[in-house]
Amino acid sequence: MPKLTVKSPEFAGQVFDLSQPTVSIGRGEDNTYQLAHPSVSTHHAEFRQEGGDYKLVDLGSTNGTRVNDERITESPLRNGDIVMLGNMLLTYESETAAPAAPMPAAETKVNLAGAGTPSGRPADFKNLAPFPKPKSGGGGGFPVLIAVAFLIALAGFGLLIFKAFLA
């Protein structure tokens, strides 16, 4: 059987069984369940049975009604929903599982003609690499030759200076 459990400290643990087709809740004594809190209107809301679950309907309350932190005027309820009546926090518990999504029709057909054909490469396509491809071929030997010649010249110059200090 569906039920509401109050979570707000003032009435924590209080449980309202939803056993009638229509259950009213509010501050007034003439409701099915009285919730005597200043933020709750005299006739705050109704829970109306729809199948195995209930629908919550706000009755024009001053401080509003929320389901899962969304202000509503009317909303179907599902197991685990958080209900706010004014500043009062309640949880909706139901043994009814949420409805499953409908299966697609058996006659649904998909046209796969042409699905396996290659699409080709765009005209401006170069490559997927984030860096440009290094150029292959000559051009790499000349800088190496210059570097080797520089090192030989530097060594020769160092040798001349060393001999000058010894003399």
Task: Give the integer Cα–Cα distance in Å for 31 and 44.
Answer: 9
Round to whole Å and give the CA distance between 65 and 61. 7
Alpha-carbon dihedral 32, 37, 38, 42, rounded to 10 degrees:
0
Q: Which domains does the chain have, with CATH numbers?
A: 2-94 (2.60.200.20)
Identify the pLDDT of residue 51: 82
pLDDT band of residue 117 (cuts 50, 70, 90) is low
Distance of CA 75 to the CA centre of its chain: 22
Q: Which residue has the tokens 């056993």?
A: 19
- Mapped onto helix, strand or coil, the DSSP state of residue 138 is coil
How is residue 67 written in tokens? 């389901």
Is 164's pLDDT higher than 70?
yes
Distance CA 92, CA 6 (A): 9
Lowest mean pLDDT among 44-58, 121-135, 137-151: 121-135
Non-local (6+) Cβ contacts of 74 within 8 A are: 55, 56, 57, 58
Residue, of 52 and 50, whose pLDDT is higher: 50
In this model, does residue 139 exceed pLDDT 80? Answer: no
Question: pLDDT band at 7, cuts 50/70/90?
Answer: very high
Structure tokens of 135? 């150029």
Q: 124 falls in which pLDDT band (50, 70, 90)? A: confident
Give the model's confidence band at 74: pLDDT under 50 very low, under 70 low, under 90 confident, else very high: very high
